Amino acid sequence: DAGVTQSPTHLIKTRGQQVTLRCSPKSGHDTVSWYQQALGQGPQFIFQYYEEEERQRGNFPDRFSGHQFPNYSSELNVNALLLGDSALYLCASSPGTGTGYGYTFGSGTRLTVV
């Protein structure tokens, strides 16, 4: 049973560019949440998708957007990249929109903006 799969594992982009990160949830999970983890800090909640809609959003600018597909996989898009967007981006999936039981994280995508 595959867990949460994220791609790519590493990425280097230039300031001002756009990036798309991908996440496939664990089998049986239909809710996907995205987090940004800067070096030395805890993960920060970006947003959550369920039934192809953004259900919850953290304090991130509109440059951060997402999408969920009918197969429950999800994409995180970041436009107009800034140096400060360099971080580990984590995806987590869960069954339904309950209170976190079954929450499973992927290994993350490490984004470097130069």
Query: Which residue(s) pair with 113 in the sheet?
Result: 13
Separation of alpha carbons 114 and 93, rounded Å: 30
Q: Cβ of residue 97: shortest distance to other proteins, in angstroms?
A: 5
Cβ proximity to other proteins, 14 vs 84, nearer residue? 84
Cβ proximity to other proteins, 80 vs 107, nearer residue? 107
Binding to other proteins by CB under 8 A, coded x per residue (else -) over 62-81, reads --------------------
Binding flag, residue 93, other proteins (CB under 8 A) = no
Tokens of 63: 């440059």
Cβ proximity to other proteins, 79 vs 110, nearer residue? 110
CB atoms within 10 A of CB 36: 21
Spatial CA neighbour of 84 closest among 36, 48, 43: 36
